[in-house]
Structure 1
């Protein structure tokens, strides 16, 4: 069984008292990446790994960064059940934030504190939920409109089902007079008045129980502030957004708790844990991307996660003396179709993709300082931009402890699940 609390030697302690493992190993690429090649050299590519020490460090570091605020694990950013279970055994973590109802129903067989982070229109899944009293008691649905409530009532009327646990998704974006909408487009409920009016109508509805509220500050948590020329503007926008959100969130919570007692008030995620942890109105934060740490998190000033996961492709041809081509490569991340969403070759050092081809569906040509030295069969290591999405490409990760493979960790795909 994967255990992230077993070996905590070489640690110091942060301000919350959580142990923080020594991170020097991954600061030395010439030591870190060849070790993975030695451990996996007998395996065919593509091969994906999770490093135990790096995962342990990230799990502990997130607890430290949140300042003791409990962390709800965002499962979309992991998609490996054994890792999710191991993280939940680390003090400071409690509950799951799932991304589809089908996933939540599956995980409710083992877990009793599940929040569905997004609204659902899954008729079959809702029918299953409402026919299962245990699942209905373990899963909280996310809503932001009366239309969603009507949709549920049309499937099974409130008189014929268990009372459903629901949470309100309130918009955390910043609406700037000069810059417009800053953040992502999620909930239509933005102002204190918006949320309060909706909550009053919700509490008058039969068959629903309001238990929580979620506000995800994407423009803070999901935007690096150490990425290039626009950093000064990003930091200014984030600073203003933090001030506005703290005041508005407090008003929303005050309005909701005047109507009903709330079980949880959720913020997050990984990129803003220091800010979230300092907000006294919150009872928890959701985070998950920082556990496996895609390379998008390399662009943050406030923290530097360890590269806990990576995958390898092998060289299969050399179309020119300064080009080596690997089989595979095109594991592109979701989001804007930009360079930042491409997987990044990290070892051997100095490799880069070709501007006109980038990371290919079947093969990827590489140039750079070490490309001329690569030969057919040589292994290259890559990092994905995001944390959970590589799991959709593979059936399992190889767990690395030191220089050895110590376990195979099935992904959702490896367990026969493909939720989204």
Structure 2
């Protein structure tokens, strides 16, 4: 099915009434055997349009890793305010760039991470059309050396590259705050790398990416340490504003940049205000994994969820569902577990958590659950649920509107 996100956003927010919202989802999927993954079209439409409002006119590049469903990517990119894809592997980028129906599926794809996939590099180097549509991410000359070893300059298509510069904060007295990504941090380091790239035959420097994970990926309204987090983000943002401007100014003297990419779902307003940035990236805010509940700036709708069936009652206040152990990537802490969200008041057992095959759930609500009843969960991260299921069932109101395949459903497993 084709998703229509161009319709007017809902006048109300049905997800603010959990009993009504999850009740409607349950009704729509009553005839579908579990486990079942669902996508609420009204919530997706709301989130997609809200991201555009938050971006304040700066184009949004969609992070495919946070979606992993081609119909959703296509529908979002059809909306004004969205432009291009940030892919997470080169085989995925090549697949997304393939022609469908006589036209290129996507002609503006930036690979968000460096690649060492020799087979995929060879395929890119041998395909002029794909090479014109895909930009590789680099932060080290060794990555260019690898490409040259696979396909020597002069024998291949010109390779478009962008530099990933470290956007973390090196705080006085505290050290590195942020994720461990690029080795180039200071303007001089980034400029030196850019000059080396510009001097290499067979490569064209076209862009810069700086992802401020310590701001975009760190909630500031979680109820734990929020004051410290907000202090850190204010200081980091001020430092980054000056450093990114200096880096961009240095690079523009070296190569004509097509884009300067920054931000993420959690920092759209802040990054959009940076005049050095020409585009933003967002993806998690579309399906809204529960890790994105704890932010002051926005309140996304729970667009994606999955339901598991109760299969046993070991105790009156315990209901056991089949499945559940769909743990998100990252540190193995509670926040990476899927959370039962309806019926309200359920919780996993401390010694079992979300199980490989079964998940016992405790709480007063479990007393009213019976074998065959359904419990709704939200995944911690937005895109990773798609790796567990072949398709999403699309719900609009209380009606099952159709199904759409995930990457997995299309026979693809990129990472």
Instruction: Give the TM-score range, shorter chain.
Output: over 0.9
Partners of 1:75 and 1:93 in 2: how far apart? 13
In structure 2, the partner of 1:192 is 187
SS in structure 2 of the partner of residue 242 of structure 1: helix
8 Å contact from structure 1 (residues 77, 388) kept in 2 = yes
Partners of 1:6 and 1:287 in 2: how far apart? 18
**Gapped regions of structure 2 (runs ≥ 5):** 99-104
Listed one character per residue, the Cα deviations across residues 237-293 of structure 1 (whole Å, up to 9, x for unaligned) are 000000001110000000000111110000011000000111111110011000000
8 Å contact from structure 2 (residues 6, 79) kept in 1 = no
SS in structure 1 of the partner of residue 270 of structure 2: helix
Alignment of 1:96-115 (within 5 A): 96-109=85-98, 110-115=105-110
Are 1:2 and 2:2 an aligned pair?
A: yes
Are 1:71 and 2:60 an aligned pair?
A: yes
Alignment of 1:184-333 (within 5 A): 184-333=179-328
Alignment of 1:25-64 (within 5 A): 25-64=14-53
SS in structure 1 of the partner of residue 27 of structure 2: helix
Listed one character per residue, the Cα deviations across residues 95-119 of structure 1 (whole Å, up to 9, x for unaligned) are 0000000000000011100000000
Partners of 1:77 and 1:229 in 2: how far apart? 25
In structure 2, the partner of 1:140 is 135
Report the Cα offset of residue 373 of structure 1.
1.0
8 Å contact from structure 1 (residues 349, 369) kept in 2 = no
SS in structure 2 of the partner of residue 199 of structure 1: helix
Are 1:415 and 2:415 an aligned pair?
A: no
Report the Cα offset of residue 23 of structure 1.
4.4
Listed one character per residue, the Cα deviations across residues 355-379 of structure 1 (whole Å, up to 9, x for unaligned) are 1100000000000120111110010
SS in structure 1 of the partner of residue 224 of structure 2: coil
8 Å contact from structure 1 (residues 265, 284) kept in 2 = yes
8 Å contact from structure 1 (residues 23, 57) kept in 2 = no
8 Å contact from structure 2 (residues 5, 76) kept in 1 = no
In structure 1, the partner of 2:102 is none
Alignment of 1:378-417 (within 5 A): 378-417=373-412
The structure 1 residue matched to 2:335, chosen from 340, 356, 370, is: 340
**Gapped regions of structure 1 (runs ≥ 5):** 12-20
Aligned residues between the structures:
409
Listed one character per residue, the Cα deviations across residues 307-334 of structure 1 (whole Å, up to 9, x for unaligned) are 0011000100011111110001111110
In structure 2, the partner of 1:18 is none
- TM-score between the two structures when normalised by the length of structure 2: 0.97
Report the Cα offset of residue 159 of structure 1.
1.3
Partners of 1:101 and 1:340 in 2: how far apart? 29
User: RMSD between aligned alpha carbons?
Assistant: 0.9
Moved over 6 A (4+): none
Partners of 2:364 and 2:239 in 1: how far apart? 47
- TM-score between the two structures when normalised by the length of structure 1: 0.96
Report the Cα offset of residue 122 of structure 1.
0.3
